[in-house]
Structure 1
Amino acid sequence: MTPDVYQLAEQVGAALLAQQWQLATAESCTGGLVSAAVTEIAGSSAWFDRGFITYSNEAKIELLGVSLLTLHAHGAVSEQTVHEMLAGALAKSVAHVAVAVSGIAGPGGGTPDKPVGCVCFGWQRRGYPARCVTQHIAGDRAAVRETATRVALEGVLALAQG
């Protein structure tokens, strides 16, 4: 983990602790990097509840309750799927805040509509509407995953700081 991601995870932890909130993650293309970043911080058990690594569509369905219809209509890399990942993470945890990430890290798997580096993010506080966005991240697989982790944490920090 790079120093800037570590510092960002520290800031996320401090902000969540100040709110007395817990975090849940729902990750696909990041494969647990967001969870790894937050658990690198000593004392994170006070503000990190759990992480769901749902790389396959089956895992998204089984663990988070993502609809097969959503996956067929929009694909795993879509704001609709990320929205359902958030809902599932909040429903299956005690967390107050959830972050979800799904994307195409590459080097293969991209399409003209969803090229390599297309990553969908979502953030939600329990009881409030979700915010979902799609970003196009340049770079190789490692760069896409690292940048996606940073963006995910930045969104959690913004939500916790209100």
Structure 2
Amino acid sequence: MKGLNAKGMNAQSDGNRAETLYPALPAAIEKAAETLLHTCCAQELRIATAESCTGGLLASLLTDVEGASHAFERGFVVYSKESKCELLGVARARIDACGAVSREVAIAMATGAINQSHADIALAVTGYAGSAPPGQEAGLVHFACASKGGAVEHREAHFGNIGRGPVRIGTLGIALEMMMDAVHAVARP
């Protein structure tokens, strides 16, 4: 099957690779997404995403793997403060007090994604993929992964001022790793 590559030119898909994003993403990211989805299918688990700085890139990757995308329940692209509040129930007071790029908001996003979906696991990401406002750290990304009825795990990454693309790709790698860890933690017998 043919798709468009990063330059908008037709490219031949390579088996089960993430067709839409191929060849822009490293093979290890694509393989991690495939493994996550196939593991979710085998365990009958569904996943959701709540994305800010990645703008839906993770959801796109997870729906691009043929034959396993039914494990992806839904994605929330919540780039603005208002969307975080309206779609995920994040309290505006929390955003105002902690900042949209914070541990607290990432956790609230993941919890909101679990509560507003039928997913077993939800991953949230918020950060500065490009330049950051004055006094903030470029490349700072907060992750939170929530399991239905379980704990919420938080992680933060400090990618530095390496550019939007590299930060977003690095973010995908960490997000997929956290979701896989959560899948193993909640695996059904």
TM-score computed with the length of structure 2 as normaliser:
0.81
Greater RCO between the two (CA within 8 Å, min separation 6)? 1
Letter in 2 for 1:132: H
Is 1:117–2:139 an aligned residue pair? yes
Task: State the partner residue of 2:103.
Answer: 79
| Aligned equivalent of 1:151 | 174
Displacement after TM superposition at 1:2 (Å) = 2.4
Of structures 1 and 2, the larger Rg is shown by: 2
Return 5+ residue gaps in structure 1 as ranges.
Answer: none
Deviation, structure 1 residue 16: 1.1
Identity of aligned residues (%): 36
Deviation track 1:20-49 (CA, whole Å, cap 9, x = no partner) reads 110000000001111111111112342100
Mapped contact 1:86–1:98 kept (Cα < 8 A): yes
Q: Quick one: distance in 2 between partners of 1:68 and 1:88?
A: 13
**CA–CA separation in structure 1 for the residues paired with 2:140 and 2:184:** 27
Matched, 1:68 2:92: yes
Structure 2 unaligned regions, length at least 5: 1-24
RMSD of the TM alignment (CA)? Answer: 1.2
Name 1:128's counterpart in structure 2.
Answer: 150
Determine helix, strand or coil for the equivalent of 1:87: helix
Q: Does structure 2 conserve the Cα–Cα contact (< 8 Å) formed by 1:79 and 1:132?
A: yes
Match of residue 36, structure 2, among 2, 7, 12:
12
Residues 5 and 37 in structure 1, CA contact (< 8 A), matched pair in contact too = no
Match of 1:93 among 83, 102, 117: 117
Flag the structure with higher helix content: 1
C-alpha change, 1:56 and 1:81, in structure 2 (3 Å) is same
TM superposition outliers: structure 1 runs of 4+ over 2 Å: 43-46, 108-112
Q: How many residues align?
A: 160
Determine the C-alpha separation between the residues in 2 that align with 1:68 and 1:118: 21
| Matching residue of 2:163 | 140
Q: Say which of 81, 102, 116 aligns to 2:126.
A: 102
The SS at the match of 1:26 is strand
Cα pair 1:8 1:153 within 8 Å, conserved: yes
C-alpha displacement of 1:12: 0.6
Give, as a single letter, the amino acid of the residue that structure 2 aligns with 1:153: L
Please say if residues 37 and 69 of structure 2, whose CA atoms lie closer than 8 Å, have aligned partners that are also in contact. no
